[in-house]
Amino acid sequence: MRLDNISMKQLLGRLLTALLLATALAGCQSSARPMVPTTGPSMTGLSNPLLVDPVDAMCTPPLGWKADPLKHSGRHDHQVWLSPTGHTAYGVIHFSLPLPVNADFVLPFFLREMKKSEGEAILLSKEFDPTLPGMRFVAEGGLYKMRSNLIVRGWQGWAIYAGTLRKETINPVELDLAERARDHTRIGE
């Protein structure tokens, strides 16, 4: 049976494609931002927010942590700050997307890139967090364990993380600072 020169098979294929596209677009994250104080006790030990243009974020690195040189590729920018011991890091990765999709869709691609750079990428946990809006996940690479917030807005994405060296003892004070810095980071400012 034909409908205006389109077979039922072609019509169903087009409807399925439209449905998949609509589902992907509906899964895009909203532009709501978490309500995290920018002053007060939770900011203790963190710097005042500073704009880091290449990663399109207001960052609050822990006081006394050293910024590594910005890493840039055609697909992403990556700024990291290292603790005084060098065993803990706070970082922001900003990347472009070929389509506006949600964080769950992006995660496997992020892990694939992590595996390329570190030799392995093991997803330990993931959970959606509407306050981000996005996803929190923990993954281990060859050298690092990353506790990350993955946020996607339209054609852009961010992974904001607190990382520790896997073969070193975790310094709980440094990890707390890195996690608070991660959670106070504002993207797309």
Q: How far apart are CA 133 and CA 39, in angstroms?
A: 21
Least confident of 15-24, 109-118, 124-133, 144-153: 15-24
- Please give the biggest Cα pair distance in the chain: 72
On the question of pLDDT at 52 being above 70, the answer is yes
Q: How far apart are CA 62 and CA 183, in angstroms?
A: 12
Q: Are 148 and 91 in contact (CB under 8 A)?
A: no
* pLDDT for residue 132: 85
Over range 152-163, report the average pLDDT.
95
Dihedral of CA atoms 8, 13, 14, 16 in degrees, nearest 10, equals 120
Average pLDDT, the chain: 82
Rounded to a whole number of angstroms, the distance between the first and last alpha carbons of the chain is 54
Over range 153-168, report the average pLDDT.
96
Q: How far apart are CA 141 and CA 157, in angstroms?
A: 20
Over range 56-85, report the average pLDDT.
95
What are the tens digits of pLDDT across the range 132-144?
889 999 999 999 9
- pLDDT above 90 coverage of the chain, percent: 70
H helix or E strand, kind and range, residue 14:
helix 8-26
Q: Are 94 and 106 in contact (CB under 8 A)?
A: no
Q: Which of 137, 132, 151, 136 is nearest to 36 (CA)?
A: 132
On the question of pLDDT at 21 being above 70, the answer is no
On the question of pLDDT at 33 being above 70, the answer is no
What are the tens digits of pLDDT across the range 75-119?
899 999 999 999 999 999 999 999 999 999 999 999 999 999 899
